[in-house]
């Protein structure tokens, strides 16, 4: 094996491994950082993200908690206020509802409510999304809800690179940052650019350029949109795929710039359509970009149903590539 | 009436426990007030003598209204009512916009609905509607090709290419069906609208430069001798390419003035003004001119002119130009000071090439000279930029082999 | 630090004066509320002063405090300047939370005062985290977490009690049992009305103490803090107390009788303390009047400070929603 190939091999990894390396790096670099959550230690993480880290760092740094989301999330907030840099893992975003009080009423409010005396430099990671037949209490996409709340930052890594480096940026941020890792992406594999060791948590990214229609998306819908863009290209339609990455605060500049250029927009969001982040973006476009639009905005979201168990029903409930292709085509070539 | 809660707006005085002349001490209960939460005992915070009961039993009073007046102990009740209690803290006023005066609307005679309501609403996308308005294109004359039959930006631009303008149709034209294809009268209307807007809104500035074309023409002659007739180039492609490369260096001239500011364009798409045989003028785009080789540019130009004269221009080609060239060619005048096509911010005019006296190495000699005239939008750029741009065009035309 | 409170003249006067500061300050607050100078919710601590005053005596500067929405007493006893508290209730930018918190949300970083929390039980998990951080960064520091007996019904209470002991954290749980969660009587809310017994389920030492007696509270808190500082993990203190006034200003108190309030009034810590100090000749009537005058002067200055204060500029409305940096 030549040197280049060896190097390429070292940089090829799964999204899960990228998350794990990010946590390992954080624990290595800052003694104030620790990982806390249900089954993060002995069990190795529900999705095996933290597997092996307990042996490396010990039970003070990789801390198993009882099933007490309100308190271990609240403890993360308190610890962050008092000088530590915790990473709190919530097993799935459905369980985050047990800690919603702490996230909303404490983490998001205290910096402002204290007149800027206390910051909450906390990272909360959780698994989100559907596609593994886990049914209606383990499959939802609640990142859009959290993106409603001032005082939080909400991240949705959709690439291996973001899985690897967003955590570092989140830990250096003085605010509570929530990272939503998609359960289907954990097994996704990809190559890391060895020159990239840092990503921002402020901007959306154009993952594919095109002039005919902008497809805005994030998380596990990103690969679906990229596949849709491939199909559209064969049909002579150049779709631009924008990875939102950061759901709060939304990067208006990148979104507006893209849509102002293509004048057509499809938003793909695994959350439900009603009151979703896709609704927010569509509203902003119609508020601020109305006179640039050359077609109605289209949204592809999950069907309004608790995510069902059976595979065919689950598939029917989620945004699929074919729908994205159809929506984009209908805007560019209506006939 | 004391405020007992954030959501209390008023209270009803149920009964008094004191009467004028009663001596009260701090903490004494003086009255009972009924609210939506129930009955409360009202205490006083100062000692003194009740000099006057302002509220009657059974009376509903807003928060802040005086219930009674209190005099200091040993003080005669004042003849005149004492000054009003201190005002409540001022609510911070978030500055509100001045109320919209609607007198104009109010005095307008409402139009009869049957006149103003179209039978079925024309679907026009927001950007198409805006652009049509800017160019003075009437919407009802347009055929929509967008989603649900909507008129899109491309349809508006296609209409200009076809010379459609029904902004102010003559009364005679109304009953007749809309004419298909090219109509010189309507094109005249469209040009009139766009050019009027340009002169109305755009503060043009003009710069002129004389360019020695001997090197370019000599290079072209050599090139053409070495190639088959169908591969030969016209001087126009040298002008196009030199302009594109100069725009690359001066991007302030390549783009659009929109919503009160300049938006540069990523690509250099030059509109080439083509006069149509039936009269009128269009300037469809050649895309990414700076990335073309000269032969490929020749092909693109040839194709464009051919389609323009056959009526085969696509709407997108009409809306894409980021800059326009008007070249008068062999039969034209000396120079062309153009009118900018909005929302572009510049137009470059090339006159006819004349042989004229020119000073080279302190000697007067005859040279083929070309006058290049830039008209640019002073909102988007200044004369300095225009000067640099013209100098760059000249420089590229002196090195035709690099184009 | 000694485990026994100093029952000398100085500490007796101190306890008395602190309680009087709270009592008189809040009487002024009620007046200013009715005059609409203070708005929002106003929860008075009237009757419970001995708890905050007694517990704070056992703490020092390195310790942290997590308070409830009935936080005037905690803040004054912890040493937050009265003027900044009054300014906060006026909504002025000079307030201890720059006018963003109001009566229920006093904060003071310098005094490790982690806020009045207006979610019942909401502060308990914070205390766990603060104690985790202290254990690593500031060993020996104690986090005193105040909450009412109503919080004992919340899940967060049980989760926090469990984690504190499980991880052996330096937390002093102070339950201010005033018998009513707003209008909900204890016996209608809890299967086990002896709150202090709940700590046993979490293997945490606990004590129930007369919350109307500052000396008893101080003594118990001092014992508790000593136990925590010596590394024994959390300690639970139930202070049995009573609020004389309504839950908040807008409350007609349908849930309790005048007779009951009257009975508790007889145990009012302020006159009791005054009587005791006078009988033991630690305090003369003239000294009482001097203390009253001091307190009234302090309140007058606090009101003047608040009146003089400025409104936060509206252009700063969104300041601190996201922080630019972690304050040092």
Among the four given CATH numbers 3.40.50.720, 3.30.200.20, 3.40.50.970, 1.20.1560.10, the one describing domain C9-304: 3.40.50.970
Order of strands, sheet of A239-243, starting from the edge strand that comes earlier in the sequence: A205-208, A239-243, A213-217, A265-272, A298-302
Report the distance separating Cα A174 and Cα C326, nearest Å.
5
Does C130 contact A82 at a Cβ distance shorter than 8 Å?
A: yes
CATH fold label, A3-191: Rossmann fold (3.40.50)
pLDDT of residue B96: 38
Q: Are C226 and C205 in contact (CB under 8 A)?
A: no
Name the interface residues of C facing B (CB cutoff 8 Å).
31, 33-37, 39-41, 90, 248-252, 254, 311, 314
Q: Among all residues of A, which ones are annotated catalytic? A: 69, 138
Using a pLDDT cut of 90, give the percent of chain B over it: 38
Q: Which residue of C has its CA nearest to A107?
A: C126
Selected residues 194-253 of chain A with any CB under 8 Å from a CB in chain C:
249
pLDDT of residue B83: 44
Mean pLDDT in residue range B290-312 = 87
**Shortest Cα distance, chain A CAs vs residue B89, angstroms:** 22
Angstrom CA distances, B349 to B267, B301, B313, B384, B391, stand at 21, 17, 22, 18, 15
pLDDT of residue A260: 94
Q: Are C158 and C125 in contact (CB under 8 A)?
A: no
Least reliable range by pLDDT among A270-274, B24-28, B176-180, C145-149:
B176-180
Q: What are phi and psi of A47, to 5 degrees?
A: -105, 20
Mean pLDDT in residue range B44-69 = 89
A206 in reach of chain B (CB within 8 A): no
Selected residues 120-179 of chain C with any CB under 8 Å from a CB in chain A:
122, 124-134, 136-137, 155-156, 159-160, 162-163, 166
Does B2 contact C34 at a Cβ distance shorter than 8 Å?
A: yes
Least reliable range by pLDDT among A283-287, B99-103, B285-289:
B99-103
Contacts of B128 in chain A (CB under 8 A): 294
pLDDT band at residue B174 using 50, 70 and 90 as cut-offs: very low
Least reliable range by pLDDT among B139-153, C73-87, C160-174:
B139-153
Q: At what angle do helices C9-34 and C214-227 cross, to 10 degrees?
A: 110
For residue range A69-108, what is the model confidence (pLDDT) as tens digits? Answer: 999 999 999 999 999 999 999 999 999 999 999 999 999 9
- Other C-beta atoms lying within 10 Å of the C-beta of residue C91: 22
Q: What are phi and psi of B244, to 5 degrees?
A: -60, -45
Average pLDDT score, chain A: 95
Angstrom CA distances, B290 to B233, B255, B303, C325, stand at 17, 15, 18, 47
Report the distance separating Cα B203 and Cα B381, nearest Å.
11
CATH fold label, A205-332: Rossmann fold (3.40.50)
Probe site for chain C from B1, B5, B62, B63 (most C CB atoms < 10 A): B5
Q: Are B205 and B383 in contact (CB under 8 A)?
A: yes
Which of A45-49, A218-222, B16-20 shows the highest mean pLDDT? A218-222
Subunits next to B (3 or more Cβ pairs <8 Å) are A, C
Domain boundaries, chain B: 10-71, 121-191, 203-402
Q: Are A125 and A156 in contact (CB under 8 A)?
A: no
Report the distance separating Cα A156 and Cα A248, nearest Å.
10
Q: List the single residue in C131, C155, C321 with the smallest CB-CB distance to A151.
A: C321
Q: Which residue of B has its CA nearest to C35?
A: B2
Q: What is the torsional sign of CA A86, A89, A90, A96? A: positive
Q: Which residue of C has its CA nearest to B39?
A: C252
Identify the residue with better confidence: B184 or C166: C166
pLDDT of residue A2: 53
Does C130 contact A84 at a Cβ distance shorter than 8 Å?
A: no
For residue range B214-267, what is the model confidence (pLDDT) as tens digits? Answer: 999 999 999 999 998 888 999 999 999 999 999 999 999 999 998 889 999 989
Report the distance separating Cα A296 and Cα A273, nearest Å.
16
Does C252 contact B3 at a Cβ distance shorter than 8 Å?
A: no
Does A292 contact B150 at a Cβ distance shorter than 8 Å?
A: no
Least reliable range by pLDDT among A62-76, A85-99, A201-215, B320-334:
B320-334
Q: CA-based diameter of chain B, in Å?
A: 122
Specify the 3-state DSSP secondary structure of C222.
helix
For residue range C227-267, what is the model confidence (pLDDT) as tens digits? Answer: 999 999 999 999 999 999 988 888 888 899 999 999 999 99
Q: List the single residue in B126, B147, B153 with the smallest CB-CB distance to A331.
A: B147
Q: What is the torsional sign of CA B226, B231, B234, B237? A: negative
pLDDT of residue A152: 98
pLDDT band at residue B93 using 50, 70 and 90 as cut-offs: very low
Does A119 contact C125 at a Cβ distance shorter than 8 Å?
A: no
ipTM of this complex: 0.88
For residue range C169-201, what is the model confidence (pLDDT) as tens digits? Answer: 999 999 999 999 998 999 999 999 999 999 999
Contacts of A72 in chain C (CB under 8 A): 125, 159, 163
Report the distance separating Cα A218 and Cα B332, nearest Å.
57
Probe site for chain A from B123, B124, B127, B149 (most A CB atoms < 10 A): B127
Three-state SS string across A135-170, please? HHHCCCCCHHHHCCCCCCEEECCCCHHHHHHHHHHH
Q: List the single residue in A290, A292, A295 with the smallest CB-CB distance to B146.
A: A295
pLDDT band at residue B183 using 50, 70 and 90 as cut-offs: low
Mean pLDDT in residue range A211-217 = 97
A110 in reach of chain C (CB within 8 A): yes
B-C contacts at Cβ under 8 angstroms: 41
Residue whose C-alpha is closest to residue C240's, from C47, C26, C44, C71: C47
Q: List the single residue in B126, B145, B154 with the smallest CB-CB distance to A293.
A: B126
Is residue A211 exposed (0-12), middle (13-18) or buried (19+ Cβ within 10 Å)?
A: middle
Does B39 contact C252 at a Cβ distance shorter than 8 Å?
A: yes
User: Is the pLDDT score of A133 beyond 70?
Assistant: yes
User: Is the pLDDT score of B337 beyond 80?
Assistant: yes
Q: Are C43 and C247 in contact (CB under 8 A)?
A: yes
**Shortest Cα distance, chain A CAs vs residue C282, angstroms:** 40
Domain boundaries, chain A: 3-191, 205-332
Contacts of A292 in chain B (CB under 8 A): 126-127
Mean pLDDT in residue range A162-171 = 98
CATH fold label, B10-71: OB fold (Dihydrolipoamide Acetyltransferase, E2P) (2.40.50)
Q: Which residue of C has its CA nearest to B86?
A: C35
State the CATH class of domain B121-191: few secondary structures
For residue range C266-319, what is the model confidence (pLDDT) as tens digits? Answer: 999 999 999 999 999 999 999 999 999 999 999 999 999 999 999 999 999 999
Angstrom CA distances, B302 to B286, B309, B316, B320, C157, stand at 11, 11, 18, 18, 81
Identify the residue with better confidence: C132 or B145: C132
Does B2 contact C41 at a Cβ distance shorter than 8 Å?
A: no
Q: Is B122 left (phi over 0), alpha (psi -120 to 50) or beta?
A: beta
C109 in reach of chain A (CB within 8 A): yes
pLDDT band at residue A6 using 50, 70 and 90 as cut-offs: low
Least reliable range by pLDDT among B80-84, B126-130, C301-305:
B80-84
CATH fold label, B203-402: Chloramphenicol Acetyltransferase (3.30.559)
For residue range A254-270, what is the model confidence (pLDDT) as tens digits? Answer: 999 999 999 999 999 99
**Shortest Cα distance, chain A CAs vs residue C228, angstroms:** 18
């Amino acid at each position: 094996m030549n040197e280049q190939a060896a190097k390429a091999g070292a940089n090829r990894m799964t999204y899960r491994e990228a998350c794990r390396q990010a946590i390992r790096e954080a624990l290595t670099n800052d003694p104030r950082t620790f990982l806390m959550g249900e089954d993060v230690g002995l069990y190795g993480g529900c999705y095996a993200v933290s597997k092996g880290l307990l042996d490396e760092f010990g039970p003070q740094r990789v801390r198993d908690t009882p099933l007490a989301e309100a308190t271990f999330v609240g403890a993360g907030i308190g610890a962050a206020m008092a000088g530590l840099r915790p990473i709190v893992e919530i097993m799935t975003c459905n369980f985050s509802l047990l800690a919603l009080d702490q996230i909303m009423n404490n983490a998001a409010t205290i910096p402002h409510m204290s007149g800027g005396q206390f910051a909450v430099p906390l990272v909360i990671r959780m698994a989100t999304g559907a596609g593994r037949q886990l049914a209606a209490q383990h499959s939802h996409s609640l990142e859009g809800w959290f993106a409603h709340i001032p005082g939080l930052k909400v991240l949705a890594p959709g690439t291996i690179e973001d899985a690897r480096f967003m955590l570092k940026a989140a830990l250096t941020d003085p605010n509570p940052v929530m990272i939503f890792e998609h359960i289907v992406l954990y097994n996704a594999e990809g190559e890391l650019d060895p020159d990239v060791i840092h990503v921002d948590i402020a901007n959306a990214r154009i993952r594919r350029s095109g002039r005919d229609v902008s497809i805005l998306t994030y998380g596990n819908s990103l690969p679906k949109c990229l596949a849709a863009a491939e199909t559209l290209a064969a049909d002579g339609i150049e779709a631009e795929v924008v990875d939102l990455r950061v759901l709060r605060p939304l990067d208006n500049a990148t979104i507006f710039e893209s849509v102002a250029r293509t004048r057509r927009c499809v938003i793909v969001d695994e959350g439900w359509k009603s009151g979703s982040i896709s609704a927010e973006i569509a509203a902003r476009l119609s508020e601020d970009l109305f006179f640039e639009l050359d077609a109605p905005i289209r949204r592809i979201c999950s069907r309004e149903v608790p995510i069902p168990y059976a595979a065919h029903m689950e598939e029917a409930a989620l945004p699929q590539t074919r729908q994205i292709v159809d929506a984009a085509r209908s805007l560019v070539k209506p006939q | 009436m004391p405020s007992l809660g954030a959501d209390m707006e008023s209270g009803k005085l149920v009964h008094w426990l004191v009467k004028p002349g009663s001596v009260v001490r701090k903490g004494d209960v003086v009255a009972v007030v009924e609210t939506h939460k129930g009955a409360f005992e009202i205490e006083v915070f100062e000692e003194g003598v009740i000099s006057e009961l302002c509220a009657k039993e059974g009376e509903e009073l807003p928060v802040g209204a005086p219930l009674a007046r209190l005099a200091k102990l040993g003080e005669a009740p004042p003849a005149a009512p004492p000054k009003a209690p201190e005002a409540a803290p001022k609510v911070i006023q978030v500055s509100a916009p001045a109320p919209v005066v609607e007198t104009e609307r109010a005095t307008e005679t409402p139009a009869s609905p049957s006149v103003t309501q179209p039978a079925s609403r024309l679907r026009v996308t927001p950007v198409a509607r805006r652009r049509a308005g800017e160019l003075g294109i009437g919407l009802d004359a347009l055929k929509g090709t967008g989603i649900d039959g909507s008129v899109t930006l491309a349809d508006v631009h296609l209409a200009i290419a076809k010379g459609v303008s029904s902004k102010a149709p003559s009364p005679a034209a109304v009953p007749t069906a809309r004419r298909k294809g090219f109509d010189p009268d309507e094109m005249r209307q469209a040009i009139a609208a766009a050019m009027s807007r340009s002169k109305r809104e755009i503060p043009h500035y003009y710069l002129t430069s004389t360019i020695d074309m001997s090197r370019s023409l000599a290079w072209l002659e050599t090139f053409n001798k070495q190639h088959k007739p169908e591969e030969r180039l016209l001087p126009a492609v040298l002008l196009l390419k030199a302009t594109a490369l100069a725009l690359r260096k001066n991007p302030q001239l390549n783009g659009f003035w929109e919503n009160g500011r300049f938006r540069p364009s990523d690509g250099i798409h030059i509109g080439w003004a083509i006069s149509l045989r039936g009269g009128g003028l269009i300037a469809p785009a050649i895309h990414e001119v700076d990335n073309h080789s000269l032969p490929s540019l020749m092909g693109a130009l040839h194709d464009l002119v051919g389609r323009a004269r056959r009526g085969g221009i696509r709407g997108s080609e009409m809306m894409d130009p980021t800059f326009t060239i008007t070249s008068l060619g062999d039969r034209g005048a000396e120079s062309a000071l153009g009118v900018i096509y909005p929302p572009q911010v510049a137009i470059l005019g090339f006159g006819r090439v004349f042989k004229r006296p020119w000073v080279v190495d302190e000697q007067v000699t005859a040279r083929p000279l070309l006058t290049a005239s830039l008209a640019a939008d002073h909102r988007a750029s200044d004369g300095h930029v225009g000067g640099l741009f013209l100098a760059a065009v000249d420089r590229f035309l002196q090195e035709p082999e690099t184009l | 630090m000694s485990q026994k409170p100093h029952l000398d003249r100085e500490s007796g006067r101190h306890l008395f004066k602190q309680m009087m500061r709270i009592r008189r300050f809040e009487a002024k607050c009620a007046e200013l509320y009715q005059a609409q100078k203070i708005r929002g919710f106003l929860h008075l601590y009237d009757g419970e002063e001995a708890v905050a005053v007694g517990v704070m005596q056992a703490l020092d500067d390195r310790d942290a405090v997590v308070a409830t929405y009935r936080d005037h007493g905690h803040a004054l006893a912890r040493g937050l300047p009265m003027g900044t508290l009054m300014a906060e209730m006026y909504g002025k930018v000079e307030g201890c939370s720059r006018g963003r918190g109001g009566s229920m949300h006093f904060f003071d970083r310098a005094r490790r005062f982690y806020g009045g929390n207006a979610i019942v039980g909401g502060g308990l998990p914070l205390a766990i985290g603060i104690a985790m951080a202290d254990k690593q960064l500031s060993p020996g520091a104690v986090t005193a977490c105040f909450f009412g007996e109503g919080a004992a019904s919340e899940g967060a209470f049980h989760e926090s009690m469990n984690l504190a002991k499980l991880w052996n954290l330096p937390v002093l749980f102070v339950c201010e049992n005033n018998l009513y969660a707003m209008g909900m009587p204890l016996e209608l809310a809890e299967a086990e009305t002896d709150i202090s017994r709940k700590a046993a389920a979490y293997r945490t030492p606990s004590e129930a103490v007369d919350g109307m007696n500052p000396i008893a509270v101080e003594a118990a808190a001092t014992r508790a803090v000593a136990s925590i500082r010596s590394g024994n993990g959390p300690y639970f203190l139930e202070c049995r107390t009573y609020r004389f006034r309504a839950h908040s200003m807008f409350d007609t108190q349908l849930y309790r009788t005048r007779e009951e309030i009257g009975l508790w009034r007889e145990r009012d810590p302020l006159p009791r303390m005054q009587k005791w100090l006078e009988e033991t000749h630690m305090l003369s009537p003239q000294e009482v009047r001097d203390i009253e005058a001091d307190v009234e002067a302090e309140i007058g200055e606090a009101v003047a400070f608040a009146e003089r204060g400025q409104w936060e500029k509206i252009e700063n409305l969104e300041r601190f929603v996201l922080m630019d940096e972690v304050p040092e």
